[in-house]
Structure formats: structure tokens, C-alpha cells
A and B are shown apart, each in its own frame.
Chain A
Amino acid sequence: MISFILIILTSLFFSGIIIRTKSRTSGRKGPGLFQPVKDIIRLFKKGAVYSKTTSFIFQAAPSIYYASILMAIMVIPLGEYRGIISFEGDFVFFAYLLGVGKFFMILAALDTGSSFEGMGASREALFSMFAEPAFFILMGSFALLTGHTSFQEIFASLHFGSYISYILGVLATLVLAMIAMVENSRMPFDDPKTHLELTMVHEVMILDNSGFDLGLILHATNLKFGMYGALIANLFMGSFPLYLTIPIFLGIQLLFAVSIGLLESFTARFRMNHNAQYILALSSVSLLIFLGVLLMLGQFS
């Protein structure tokens, strides 16, 4: 429960921090921290324009997407404290819940009959497909290491002690952060600031959404950031008491947001037609984690 509240809180200022970091690095003052939230609230109050081509799928999809993200957040624990949903193998449920949301967003994009949105949908489906094995290999390796299969038990029993485990922590952070970038369509896989529809992924999928629906989608993106940040934070919490975990959580979220801002300020997007390979390369990083786990368990001797 506590993680659920914390993630919702994080979602309020996460993109604000990213935007502020980007402004600072480019020498601007930048908008306030809560500007993205204010934008979303403004969108909630606005009317909507629907395309004549669309059907009920287009209207229902944002709600389903938002619900899937909310459900997925419920699975995330905070150190010792389990999430609202917690059972053996809950991370499979987590991944498939996110799949439902993605499924409907892709369909909503196709529902408009626009060639640009179809292209974005195709890319989203392809990229998230290639990100899937990386996540599962990562979690499988942790399951092998800790002997548990639920998020809370895995994170609670992850202990950093040996050199290999530090490397594993770094690699796992990298994989989770990169998956977060793929899932949220950010740099270096997708450029949310691009001006040409042909080079967009996520932005082009939601071209036709407006009003309340667009607000839902934008807030869901922020929630997703908070969710992946929470996953990364959980890697470092172990079984600390609550007065330590909450600062760790917030600190890591802050660090995550700032590093996304820095990353977006100083890197360019990968070449679109090589994106799939880059994402698939994440699986090989996950495989490195798996090898590390095998080393730690002494399977090679």
C-alpha cells in the first residue's frame, strides 16, 4: 500500500524534474516542477475531438491503459512492505498487465486509420516485444539467486555482499532503466521532442487523443516512470526499516529523473531502424546478470 501511495506521489513531480534538468542544462530557467501535472489537470477539464473513423475501442482504450498501469503499480513492493497485490510469480502478472495496456493503446492508434499512427503502433509493438525477454531473464536470474518468485520476496532477500553482487546491481539497474526508457518511449529509443511524425513512436500513437483521454495517457506515462523508478529503488532497499526506505526511494526517484534529464540533454536518439537490435541487446545484458548469478551460486565449479 505504501509503495502505491509513494509512486502516485512521485508521478506528480517526476516529469517536472526531467523538464527542469533539461532546461537547466540548456541554460534556461524552465517551468515549475508541477507544470506537467497542471497541464494534465487542464486537459482533464477540456472537451474532446474524436475522429469519425474511430470506434468504441478508441474511447475505451485510455481508461483500460490507465487501469492496467494502476494495477501494475499495485504489484510493486517497498522493501519489506509488500504491494497490494503480492503472490508467488506476481512479476509475470505485472508484465502481462502492462501488456494489456499496450495492447489497447496499439489498437487505439490503429483505430484512427492514420498511416502515421499505424507506424507508431507497429514500432511500439516491435520494441516492447524485444524488451520483454530482457525483463524476464532479469527476473528469472533473481529468482534463481534468491529462490523466490515474488517481487517483495526477491527484493527483500537481495543482499549485496560480494563484488559480483555489486556488478549485478549495476547491470540490473541499467536493464531496468533502459526498459523504462523503452516502455515510456524516451531517449535514446524515442525522442518525445521530435517534430516529425515519421520519427516518433509513442507521440505519434496518441496524435488523435484529446481532452480527458490525453490527460489519462499523460499521467499514465508519469506513473510508469514512478513504477520503474520504484523497481530500481527496490534493488537497493533490502530489509531496511521504513524511515530509511522512504528517503532511499525518493532519492533514487530523484536521481533517476535527473539522469533521464541529463541523458536526454546530451544524447541523440538511436537510428530508428536499428532500435530493435539495441533493445534486443538488453537481453544480452540480462544474460550477463544470469551468468553472474551462476557464478555466485558456484555453478561453474
Chain B
Amino acid sequence: MNESILLLFALLVPVAGMITIPFIPHPFRARLSFIIVCLVAMVTTVPAIKALGGEEIDSLFDNSLLAGNWSFHVDRLSAWFILIINLTCINGAFYGMGYMKQYDAQRANLSLHWVLFLLFQASMLWVCMAQNGLVFLIVWELMSISSFLLVLFDHQNKTTLQAGINYLVQMHIGVLFLAAAFIWVYYSEGSLEFSAIERFFSTHSNFWLFLLFFTGFGIKAGFIPLHSWLPQAHPAAPSHISGVMSGVIVKLGIYGIFRMVFFLKQDYILIGEIVVILSVLTGLYGILNASVHRDIKKMLAYCTIENIGIIGLGIGLGLLGMGSGNGLLVVLGFTGALLHTLNHSLFKSLLFFTAGAVYQQTHTRDMEKLGGLIHRMPQSAVFFLVGAMAIGGLPPFNGFVSEFLIYAGILLGIKSIGIASNTLMISSLAGLAFIGGVSLLTFTKSFGTVFLGTPRSPLPQEPKEVSRGMRLPQYFIILIMLSVGLLPSFYFSVTGSIVSAFVPATAGGSFSVPAALTNSLSSIGKFSLIFLALPVLIYFIRKRFTRRHRVATGPTWGCGYTAPTAGMQYTGKSFSKSLGKLMNFMLLEKKKYREIRTNEVFPPERKYTSHYNDFFVTRVFDGLVDRLLYSMNYFQFIQNGKIQMYILYGIFFIVLVFLGTALKLI
């Protein structure tokens, strides 16, 4: 079968689904949506796998109505992202079927939700295939708008609305940068095709155009200081949507950056250094913020920013490798980034799914109100535990493999000539290690507060384990995660083939992977397996040994205090308090309380609240927006509410256009 016909199906099937869903009975809508998600995934996975094998697929839709041909193209890079999108969307839709049951009463809203989910998946797939600037912008926009509407599911809620509008505005600022970049290329090269960008890069200075693209895509990906939509939009959306958004929509920003990186022709070192520095800062900023927030989904959103930093670090290393002609560094950096993209989409959707399970059962996202859930939801607890270990980069899970590749890249890059790059590399090494340490703190805190100990506050209902339908996709994700952790060589060879297909030979594209690296990766796989088995062995020995020992249970040792209550447990806030205090130049804590005065003999009940504000939002953007609004006041006379004036503006405009064309100015 011809693959381009399959791609045509990828366009038609979702549209058919979107039309059908509202017309079928309510109970079947979610299921139909899931089936169509699977169908679309199938018709795109087949060409994607072929493309990964080296057989690139082109398809042209001759469209004389809308300015020329619309070309869709699946190469190895798009194939990798298509596979990630499909995987995450199938899991998301499956989980969503169970998760959205709690909103069963909102029929119309749900129907729209499932229609939009199809559009969301399809538009993301199209983004990966589009090879024309105009088409790309259209599908990019479709993706932003469909995800915006998906975020707004809970539209009665004011914070959700605010988060949604914030998301919409920021996405359009991003589109502005992208559009400017494409128009620049169009003016210079006379074409909106992606190949024109490559021509542009080979004849012009690379830096500024790349900067435009990087800013546009960086807003989507969440590099600082362009990240502020993430911690707002993720908590507002339903959990499977946050999972998919954090898992893939953010990664499409990474896809765009990769696409442009592979077009670059010069300035590798400069761009690489900037990307490395920005990424390390992004990682540090993300994880430090994640460590102090008490909203579980906000914590996960900041953690996404951290992981974008790690991915960006890989991209930056690859660029530095291209600049210095070090083929191995190119491979390590880019494969690390590509693999971490897959890994992050896996464990982040897993974590969002468990967060959703917790929310569904307890109706709160505030970790400080929870506790002891491991006794009520043991499986969800294990899912979260696995996700937490993987995201901290701990072996034997997948996060370690991609972080190891990036570490290996840094250790290779350290040897490059020049004191500047030495210093850059050692700082990134320390930064990455520090990120790992903070993420250990963040996730022990989150897991400990939510799942361990005793419940901290009464809940509206007794929480119980979520339905099997919601657990199944999580088992599936864990299986794939383990496969990456235990078979790193295979995944490395796949991502390595992507990189070798794109990097030109002059920039280190022709390379051979040294035996030491393949040996390292297979060792990691082997010893991770042993590391899985060894605790089991020790536990087994312990069980055998202590079989006849007397085992008693009692209350936790209270250090002599005999009446401990649940409220006395260490809270998540206090767990990360010392870190927050040390980093208070960046983690802005806002406290509200009244001190007890000396003359208050019987102090009345009082409240203490404290929350952390985003540094960039409060210190940079709020001020800027305030100034902007203030200066906009001066132009209020234009919008004065008089219809006559508005008509006059229209006439002015028409006259201007007329004069312009008459005098051949436009």
C-alpha cells in the first residue's frame, strides 16, 4: 500500500471522527474517540516506522485554491516524534475514558472534549509532517487552539479561564515570532518551503533567524523566561490532557528547534553555547521551583521545565559538537536529547495520570492536605514511585539512560580545546548533578507527602484504588520505560540513525560509534537488570532469615511524646523549607501572618499562609505588562465608542490603500 495514501487517511479519519462523535449516543463517544485515536495512530505509525528504517515518504497535495502545493513529508525526525505522539495520545485517550467518567453529567462538554482530542492528536501529527511554512503555521495554530479549548474543560472555574487565556496569548506571541521568521525567509528566498530555510541558512548569517525560531518554539517548549504558561495551564487542564500536553505538545517546541538546528550551516558554537547556558539555567530554575510548590500538578509542570532544560542541554552539546567537528559529541548530545524526549513523555504522562487518579479520589491537588494514600491506592502509589525514580534519572529506569548519554557528552566535551568550553562543560556537569539532587528532594517530598504517613486532613470521601481502565495504560507505560532502561543499546541505535541522517558530514555527521560507548550502554542495560534482581534477592534472604523471628506492630516511635496527631507530621512545605530559604533570591516566598505582640496575653486564633511566586512573572513580566497597560491608556482616544469615528477610520484606511496602489507604493 502506498504510504502517501496512508497519510491522506491521517487527514481524513480524524475529520470523519470529529463529525461523527456528536451524533452517536453519549456512552459510546469516548470509546469511538479512543478507537479513532488508535486508527490514526496506526495509519501514521506504519509510514513512521518505514521512515525510521530510512525510507522517507513524501506526499504532495496539489491545491491550486490555496497557493500552490501543500507538501507533507515524513523523515526520520518527524517519524520519531510521530511515534511519541501516538504512544502518548493512545495512553492519554485510554486513561481519559476512565478519568472523564466523573464528569459524565456534562454531556455536551464531554462531546466537545472528545472531538477536540481528535483534532489535537491530528494537528500534532500534521505539525510533524508539514514542510511548508504556511501549512506549518496553520496546523501549529490548530494545535494551539485545540489544546487551549481542551484546557478550558472546567470553564466555570475562574482560574482555569485565566490559565487558558494566558496560554492562548502566550502561544500567539510564539506564533508571531514564527510567522516573522517564515516571512523573513519568504522575502529572502521567495518560498515558504522548509527547503528555503536551508537555502537561507547557507547564504545568510544564521544567528538572527535561528534566534527568531528559537524564541517561537521556545515559548512552546518552556525555556525560561518564556515558561510562565506551563505552570498555569497544566494544573488547569484535566489530567490526561496535562499528561499529553506535558508529554508531547511541549516536545513539539523541541521538534521545531531540532528541525531548525538540522538546517543550520554555521555559527554552531555561538548558538550551542547559548543553548547550553540557557538550558542549564532552565533546568535549575524548573526543578528549584518544583521543589517548593504544593500543588501536585504545578510541581509536575515546573518539573517539565526542568526536563526541557535537560533536553536543551543535549541539543546544545550536539551543536557544540557540530561546531568543533566532533562527531561523537554530536551523536551523544542529540541522541541524549531525542531519547530524553521519549523518556520524558513516558514518565511525565505516568506522573500526571497518577496525579489525576489522586485528584479523582480526593478532589484536591494540594499535597499538604493528603497523606497515607499508599494504604488506599497501593497501585497508584507504585506508579508514582516508578515515575518519580525515572524522572530523577535513577537506574534501572529510562531516565538514567538519556541522562547518561548527556553526561557522557559533557565528559567528552570537557576535553575540547579552550578554557571557555572547559568551564562551560564543568558548570553544566555540576548543574546537571545539582538538578539530579534537587529532583531527588522534590520527588521524595511529593511521594512522601501524598502517599506516605497518615492522612493530614479529612477528605470528602474515602479514597480507593482507581478503575482498571485507568491503571492499564500506566502499566503499559512502565513496561516501555523498563524496556528503555534495560535495552538502551536498541534505543540508542534508533536515535543514532536519526542523527546520522541529518547532520552533514562536514559538521561531524560521518562518525562511527566507538566500541566503548556501545559497551557502556549494554553494560548499563545488563547491570540495571542485576540491580533490579539484587534487592529482590536480598529481600528474599531477609524473608527466609527472619521467618521465625517475632514480629510486632506498634505505633511510630514518638520520641517520648505520647499523643502525636496527623497534623504533627513533617509537611512537604517544611521538607523543602531549608532549600527554599537558601534559594530565596530566586524562590520568592509570600507570607501572610500577624506576629503575636508582647501585650497579647491571650492571643486569638490566627492564620498563616505562604506561597511561592514565579520569579520571572512577579519580577519581570508583571512590571512590563503594567507599564504596557499604562502607556496604552494614552491611545484610548482611538477607541472612543463613537461609530462615526470608526467609519471614518475605515474610510481613511480605504483611501490609504487606494493611494498606495495608485502610487505603486504597495
A-to-B contact residues, CB < 8 Å? 44-57, 60, 62-64, 66-68, 70-71, 85, 87-90, 92-93, 95-97, 99-100, 102-103, 106-107, 110-119, 121-123, 125-126, 128-133, 135-137, 140-141, 143-144, 147, 149, 197, 207-208, 211-213, 216, 273, 276-277, 283, 287, 290, 294, 299-300
Contact = CB atoms under 8 A, between A and B. Distances in A.
Nearest to B444: A106
A116 B555 CA distance: 14
A89 B448 CA distance: 31
B568 interface: yes
A106 B448 contact: yes
Interface stretch (B261-269, B523-531, B624-632, B634-642): B523-531
B292 to A, nearest CB: 13
Nearest to B520: A87
B303 to A, nearest CB: 15
Given A48-B551, A121-B444, A71 B530 contact: yes
B559 A63 contact: no
Interface of B: 371-372, 374-375, 378, 381, 385, 389, 392-395, 400, 403-404, 407-408, 410-412, 414-415, 418-419, 422, 425-426, 429-434, 436-438, 440-441, 443-445, 447-449, 452-454, 516-517, 519-520, 523-524, 527, 530-531, 534-535, 537-539, 542, 545-546, 549-559, 564, 566, 568-570, 574-579, 582
Given A48-B546, A50-B551, 12 more contacts: A85-B523, A87-B524, A90-B520, A110-B449, A110-B452, A140-B426, A140-B430, A216-B542, A276-B578, A277-B582, A283-B430, A290-B426
Contact of B527 (A53, A54, A85, A300): A85
Given A99-B440, A122-B574, A294 B551 contact: no
Contacts of A70: 534
Contacts, number: 263
Contacts of B411: 89, 140, 143, 149
Contacts of A119: 570, 574
A118 B570 contact: yes
A51 B557 contact: yes
Nearest to B537: A67
B555 A67 contact: no
B535 A60 contact: yes
A125 B291 CA distance: 12
Contacts of A212: 542, 545-546, 549
Contacts of B445: 122, 125
Interface residue SS majority, chain A: helix
Contacts of A137: 426, 429-430
A128 to B, nearest CB: 7
A132 B375 contact: no
B437 A130 contact: yes
Given A106-B444, A114-B558, A125-B440, A53 B415 contact: no
Of B378, B407, B426, B568, which is in contact with the most chain A CB atoms at under 10 Å from its CB? B426
A99 B389 CA distance: 10
Contact of A147 (B403, B415, B534): B415
A95 B118 CA distance: 43
Nearest to A144: B414
Contact of B453 (A71, A85, A111, A131): A111
A96 to B, nearest CB: 6
Give the dominant DSSP class at B's interface: helix
8 contacts: A53-B453, A67-B535, A93-B400, A97-B395, A106-B448, A149-B408, A212-B549, A287-B426
A299 B441 contact: no
Contacts of B556: 51-54, 112-114, 117, 208
B408 A107 contact: no
A11 to B, nearest CB: 16
B353 to A, nearest CB: 20
B231 to A, nearest CB: 22
B419 A113 contact: no
A54 B566 CA distance: 14
A197 B432 CA distance: 33
Contacts of B449: 110
- Among B418, B453, B535, B554, find the residue whose CB has the most chain A CB atoms closer than 10 A: B535
B438 A129 contact: yes
A106 B442 CA distance: 12
Most buried by B among A53, A113, A197, A208: A113
Contacts of A115: 564, 568-570
Closest 9 CB pairs of A and B: A118-B570, A129-B437, A110-B448, A47-B550, A113-B453, A136-B433, A133-B430, A67-B535, A51-B556
Given A114-B558, A136-B433, A140-B411, A126 B444 contact: no
Contacts of B552: 47-50
A45 B545 CA distance: 8
Contacts of B454: 53, 113
Contacts of A48: 546, 549, 551-552
B89 to A, nearest CB: 31
Contact of B429 (A53, A113, A140): A140
Nearest to B582: A276
B404 A114 contact: no
B524 A294 contact: no
Nearest to A153: B516
B248 to A, nearest CB: 26
